Amino acid sequence: MSRVPACPLCDTDGGQVLWRDSFCRVVWVEDACYPGFCRVILDAHVKEMTDLASSDRMRLMETVFTVEAAVREVARPDKINLASLGNVVPHVHWHVIPRWRDDRHFPDAVWAVPRREGAIANPMAHADIRSRLRDRLAALLD
Mean pLDDT of the region 32-38 = 91
* pLDDT higher than 80, residue 1: no
Its pTM stands at 0.91
Q: What is the pLDDT of residue 3?
A: 67
Spell out the domains of the chain, with CATH numbers in brackets: 8-105+113-141 (3.30.428.10)
Rounded CA gap, 118 and 81, in Å?
18
Model confidence over 73-128: pLDDT tens digits? 999 999 999 999 988 889 999 999 999 988 999 999 999 998 888 665 555 567 79
Q: What is the pLDDT of residue 122?
A: 52
- Three-state DSSP state, 60: helix
Rounded CA gap, 23 and 25, in Å?
7
- 53 CB-side CA count, 13 A: 5
107-to-3, 110, 138 alpha-carbon distances in Å: 36, 9, 31
Q: What is the pLDDT of residue 80?
A: 97
